[in-house]
Structures are given as structure tokens and as C-alpha cells.
Chain A
Amino acid sequence: KAGVTQTPRYLIKTRGQQVTLSCSPISGHRSVSWYQQTPGQGLQFLFEYFSETQRNKGNFPGRFSGRQFSNSRSEMNVSTLELGDSALYLCASSSAGQDTQYFGPGTRLTVL
């Protein structure tokens, strides 16, 4: 089976812009979770989607949002980018959200 894929791998944006990141889960997996990794905060949970519904959300501002499509592919959007949003954004998929999560390679976002 193909693994989790994320596009794009690298992105450079300026403050105030918005960005959309994409994640395709492992075939058959219906749960997609998103995480932000920064040197200071480590790996932090953003949100989880299952069957096109957000079931869980971490402690991030409303500028961070996401959605999931009927084929389980997911996107996350960050609006009004700030310098502090520079991070590695990771998505992970699992069968049902309460089992082992498999991660994609991540999208490195740099905000200038």
C-alpha cells in the first residue's frame, strides 16, 4: 500500500497570506489527524477528521481550519499567516482514529 502523501513538501509565504496544505491518507484509512512541529513546542495536535467530520480539535486559533473529502483526503488551511506559523506540518492517517497513526513526510512552511 502507498503511504501517506502530503503536498506540497515545501512552501514559502509572507505574513498575512493564507495557505492550503493537502494530505492523502493510506488507502482504506478514514481518519486523518494534523500536527504542527516546531523546535519550541514539539509535536502539537491540530485536529482530526473522520468521515468528513471534525471530531477533535487542539488548542490552536481559528485561523487554522481543515476539511475532509468523501475520499478521505484532507486539507488544512491557515489564514492570515504569522511568522510563528513557520513549522513542519504533518498529517497522519489511521483506520478509525483510535489506533496506530502513520505519518506523511510533512510540509515545511516558512513564513517571511
Chain B
Amino acid sequence: DQQVKQNSPSLSVQEGRISILNCDYTNSMFDYFLWYKKYPAEGPTFLISISSIKDKNEDGRFTVFLNKSAKHLSLHIVPSQPGDSAVYFCAAMSPGGTSYGKLTFGQGTILTVHP
């Protein structure tokens, strides 16, 4: 049961353009969402997060949008740079209780930014 889905395995973008990575979830109990960037054989690096009480959060070139009714979130990177090339994971968390410390991850999207 894939509760967090990233339906695009890969995305290719030209340097300077916008990259849009998408993520869908099925568990309505999720209330905190995060995006991570990952290189092979390394740990994920935290990029940006959003609480379910918001619909947008910005941090520099990164903006995350949350559409709760559609159970959909997206990460926008503007402008995209070659150094952004990596695997991007969407992750979600529910409130405490049986969900303490548990992130549920999507399968990841490989972003390639061409110079």
C-alpha cells in the first residue's frame, strides 16, 4: 500500500527554467510534509517542509505547495541549476501515537538539470 506516490520517475529540465516535482498521498491523517534531496550512497538532505495548516511555503529557490483537498503537493525549484540534479523524495508524517518518528516516503523522482 503506497501511501505516498511520486508518479514521475524522472524529470529533465534546462538550466534556468522551473522544475516542478509532484507528490500524491492517500492517508488523510498526514499533517506534515517534507522534501528531501538525495545523492547515491548518501543520506537525504532536508530541503523544505510544510504543515497541513498552510498551502504554501517558500525558502529561497524552493517553494512547496499543498492542496489538501486533492491530497497533492508539489515542489517548485526556480531557477533550476545543474547542482540541483539529484533524486528528490517527498515524505509525510502523521500526528503522534503510533506514528512517532515515522516518515513515509515516496519512491523518488530523478531530476536532471541540463546546462
Contacts and interface: CB of A to CB of B under 8 A. Distances in A.
A108 B103 contact: no
B105 A98 contact: no
Contacts of A104: 43
Interface residues of B, number: 26
Contact of A100 (B46, B98, B106): B46
Given A31-B101, A33-B101, A45-B103, A103 B93 contact: no
A69 B49 CA distance: 29
Contact of B43 (A33, A98, A105): A105
Interface size grouping (class) on chain A: 20 to 34
Contacts, number: 71
Nearest to A4: B43
Contacts of A92: 43, 103
Prevailing SS type, chain A contact patch: strand
Contacts of A90: 43-44
Contacts of B100: 31, 48, 50, 55-56, 97-98
A108 B40 CA distance: 11
Interface in B1-48: 32, 34, 36, 41-46
A81 interface: no
Given A42-B108, A98-B32, A98-B96, A58 B102 contact: yes
A94 interface: yes
A42 B107 contact: yes
B102 A48 contact: yes
A83 interface: no
Contacts of A45: 102-104
Contacts of B106: 42
Interface of B: 32, 34, 36, 41-46, 49, 89, 91, 93, 95-96, 98-108
